[in-house]
Chains A and B, each alone.
Chain A
Amino acid sequence: MRIRGCLGVAALLGVAPLAAPGAQELNVAIFGGSFVDNVRTCVVEPFQRASGARVNFVLGNSVQNAARLRATRGRPDVDLAYMDSQVAVQVKAEGLLDQVDAAKLTNLPDIYPSAVDPDRRWIGYMYAATAIAYNPRELRTPPQAWADLWAPGLRGKLALGDISATSGQHFLIAAARLNGGSVENVEPGFRAIRELRPHVVTLYTQADQVVQLIERGDIAAAVWFSDRVGAAARNGVPVALVFPREGAIGILPTFSIPQGARSKDLAEQYMDRALSVDSQRCLAERQYAGPTNRKVELPEALAALVPYRESIDRLYFPPAEIVAQSLPAWTDRWNREIAR
């Protein structure tokens, strides 16, 4: 009887601390996988040491984080949300994002202006690109351009991203631009991908699927993310990166503070830490993320693998608003013409 009583009290005590409100707690909605581990090392640890606050991560992809903000409108359960730029601009248009106080971000002046929302409601913290990944053991002459992906030599050995993955959307844009179209007119892109489709092994929906496909030998090349290639290569996967000649498609992941966030001050401190030279260099080394802070210096070998200084100019960044507005129509058409 006494033991049961003690257990009961212990259970109550165990539950109680979770209910305590966090003046020194920061809740962040963030992407998962190797990314969150590297962010813990590069951003969270120095942040926790400096501020004494605890960071709680809630995992989700861009759209899931956006759905969370929309569902908790005005009373968000997170103080900071990571979203890719085309999702962030939509969420901003729905009035869900708060304006960041420029005075609180000491590193803001060092960030490339194109990576910051003019209204300061979202800030890009890294550059990545949708480019071509290939297995150097299988392909003696790797593809050098988007156009090379249609070559007969790659038939039955190629993986593309589904339209639901950023790489799928970007490949559609790249295919369109390759054939005389643009982000506004993707008709040539659909035609070209329809042609390619019978020779494609699979349309992946999760970025990690590509690793398995390469390791099993199902594919020799894929349209993939530059930062994922670097991280996989470091883990021993036989994969190398090519920034295609016509120009890789740039990705700008961003973070934002939702309206009504409880710890806005702490969130701004976190942002400042993530935008600092040290954190950005750390993330570049571990996650192969291109820094958005101009002042970051990278060694040559690394600079060749990530979007950095001049190579950022060679990337094509599709206008986020146009992508956000066109995505439902693209998805619809993709479902009917490509994914059948």
Chain B
Amino acid sequence: MAERRQDPTALLLLLPLSLLLLAAFVLPVAGLVPTSLRPYIAGRGIGEGWTLQHYVLALTDAFYLEVLARTIGLGLTVTMLTLLIGYPLAYILARSTSPFRHWLTLLVIFPMLLNLVVRTFGWIALLARRGLVNQWLIGLGITDEPIRLMFNFTGLLIGLTHIFLPVMVLVLLAVIQNIPVDVEDAAATLGASRVNVFANVVLPMSAPGILAGSILVFVLTVSALVTPRLLGGPTYKVVSTLVYEQFLQLLNWPAGSALALLMTAIVLLLLWLGARLARRWEAGA
């Protein structure tokens, strides 16, 4: 770890963004902290005094813990799926020499041009009890009863993976493109098999991209609101829909703030852990 003098130019360049984040993000979120520590009296509003009851409830109550676990599980699973599907896709696109490769990239990004609500409604049309998927399955005789593909983990998994796949592909594409093909060729020349080249050269070199893409998809998934509301319905809640319920149905802003801040803390912890693991992996390469 060589010591580096902080470049004043670099700090200056970071200043506008830092100020913007401070004013538009950090301060408003910090403003939630006092709210989260206040009691809430139903029928009366936000009370006086301080209390930790909302945090305690969120961490000890079985229902809240289930929703928290479900949300994080969803985040991790969607991240893994987008990685598994997106990496080969990104690799092919990055290494492609076809004159159509830019159109192919556009095809992958194309869903992002559509409104999120429209995309989610598209999935509802496919996954509903009388939706297209079930109609095909029953029509082909694969199953007699319609399968429950909505208002559960499966429905959300499918919808969220599809919606965030372009994000993962874009990030990985940029990183893999920056790994010179010559490096792969050099490894092959030195006697490494194709699998070896991939596992020991390309993959570790794209670790920063994997990390960045995973962080992005994970954070987007656990904070998604529109898709869980539509594909999960009132019966299958995640943390963001629970926070929405507290703020805009029950007017219990203290509980909503506590939940939101708790989720933020958990996500930051997971991201930090993930970054450490990824850095160790890349360093060991």
Chain A residues within CB distance 8 Å of chain B: 63-64, 66-67, 70, 89-90, 93-94, 162, 164, 202-203, 205, 216, 218, 321, 324-329, 331-332, 335-336, 339-340
Pairwise interchain contact B251-A67, C-beta atoms closer than 8 A:
yes
Contacting residue for B45 out of A93, A202, A216, A328, CB 8 A: A93
The distance in angstroms between the C-alpha atoms of A203 and B144, with both chains bound, is 25
Find out whether the CB atom of A335 lies under 8 angstroms from the CB atom of B249: no
Of B46, B235, B248, which is within 8 A of A339 by CB? B235
Residues 28-62 of B at the A interface (beta carbon under 8 Å): 40, 42-46
**Minimum C-beta distance from A194 to chain B (A):** 14
Chain A residues in 8 Å Cβ range of B233: 202-203, 205
Flag whether B245 is at the interface (Cβ < 8 A): yes
Q: In the assembled complex, which residues on chain B have CB atoms less than 8 Å from the CB atom of A340? A: 235
Which residues of the other chain, B, contact A324 by a CB distance below 8 angstroms? 42-43
Identify the 10 closest CB pairs spanning chains A and B, nearest first.
A325-B43, A94-B45, A324-B43, A162-B234, A339-B235, A325-B42, A328-B42, A164-B249, A93-B44, A328-B250
* Inter-subunit contact A67/B44 (CB<8 Å): no
* Given A203-B234, A336-B63: A326 in contact with B42 (beta carbons within 8 A): yes
Q: A205-B234, A331-B250 are in contact. List 16 more A-B contacts (CB 8 A).
A: A63-B248, A63-B250, A63-B251, A70-B253, A93-B43, A94-B45, A164-B234, A164-B245, A202-B233, A203-B233, A324-B42, A327-B250, A328-B40, A331-B249, A332-B63, A339-B234
Contact B235 A203 (CB under 8 A): yes
11 residue pairs bridging A and B, Cβ less than 8 Å apart? A64-B248, A93-B44, A203-B234, A216-B130, A218-B130, A325-B43, A325-B44, A326-B42, A327-B250, A331-B249, A339-B237
Asked if residues A70 and B251 are in contact (CB atoms below 8 Å), the reply is yes
Cβ–Cβ contact A94 & B42, under 8 A: no
Which of chain A's residues have a CB closer than 8 A to the CB of B251?
A: 63, 66-67, 70, 90
Q: How many Å from the CB of B103 to the closest CB on chain A?
A: 35
Q: Interface residues of B: mostly helix, strand, loop or mixed? A: loop
User: Which chain A residues lie closer than 8 Å to B245 at the CB level?
Assistant: 164, 331
- Complexed CA–CA distance, A164 and B250 (Å): 8
| Residues of chain A contacted by B247 (CB below 8 angstroms) | 67
List of B residues within 8 angstroms of A218 by Cβ: 130
Output the least CB separation between B259 and chain A (Å): 13
In B226-276, the 8 Å CB interface with A consists of: 233-235, 237, 245, 247-253
Residues from chain B with a CB closer than 8 A to the CB of A339 are: 234-235, 237
Pick from A66, A202, A205, A327: contact of B42, CB below 8 A.
Answer: A327
Chain B residues, CB < 8 A from A89:
43
Shortest Cβ gap from A298 to chain B (Å): 34
Instruction: Give bound CA distance, A202 to B148, whole Å.
Output: 13
A121 CB → nearest B CB, Å: 15
Min CB distance B210 to A, Å, is 36
Identify the interface centre among B130, B248, B251, B253: most chain A CB within 10 Å of its CB. Answer: B251
By a CB distance below 8 angstroms, the chain B residues around A329 are 42
Tell me the nearest residue of chain A to B41, going by C-beta: A325
CA of A327 to CA of B44, assembled, Å: 12
Select from chain B the residue with minimum beta-carbon distance to A216.
B130
Docked Cα-Cα span, A324 to B249, in Å, equals 11
Q: How far is the CB of B78 from chain A (nearest CB, A)?
A: 22
**A94 and B249 contacting across the interface, CB-CB below 8 Å:** no
Q: How far is the CA of A120 from the CA of B130 in the complex (A)?
A: 50
Most chain B CB within a 10 A radius of its CB, from A202, A324, A335, A336: A335
In the bound complex, do residue A90 and residue B43 qualify as a contact, i.e. CB atoms below 8 Å apart? yes
Enumerate chain A residues within 8 angstroms of B40, measured Cβ to Cβ.
328
Across the interface, name the chain A residue whose C-beta is closest to B43: A325
Q: Which residues of A contact B249 (CB under 8 A)?
A: 63, 164, 331
Chain A residues with CB under 8 Å of B46's CB are: 94
CA distance A336 to B62 in the complex (A): 10
| Whole-angstrom distance between the Cβ of A328 and the nearest chain B Cβ | 5
B44 proximity list for chain A (CB < 8 A): 90, 93-94, 325
**A335 close to B42 (CB less than 8 A):** no
Q: How close is A193's CB to chain B, nearest CB, in angstroms?
A: 13
Expressed in whole angstroms, the minimum distance between the Cβ of B98 and any Cβ of chain A is: 42
- A321 in contact with B234 (CB, 8 Å): no
B41 to chain A, nearest CB (A): 8
Residues on A with C-beta less than 8 A from B253 are 70
Q: Which of B129-149 contact A (CB under 8 A)?
A: 130
Interchain nearest-CB distance for A270 vs B (Å):
25
List residues of chain A with CB within 8 A of the CB of B248. 63-64, 67
Q: Which residues from chain A contact B63 at a C-beta distance below 8 Å?
A: 332, 335-336
B64 to chain A: closest CB distance in Å?
Answer: 10
CB distance from B275 to the nearest CB of A (A): 35
Contact string against A for B residues 176-210, beta-carbon threshold 8 Å, 1 for contact and 0 otherwise: 00000000000000000000000000000000000
Beyond A89-B43, A90-B43, whether A328 also contacts B234 by CB under 8 A is no
Q: Of A70, A94, A321, A335, which contacts B237 at CB under 8 A?
A: A335
Chain A contacts for B235, CB-based, 8 A: 203, 339-340
Closest chain B residue, CB of each to CB of A339: B235
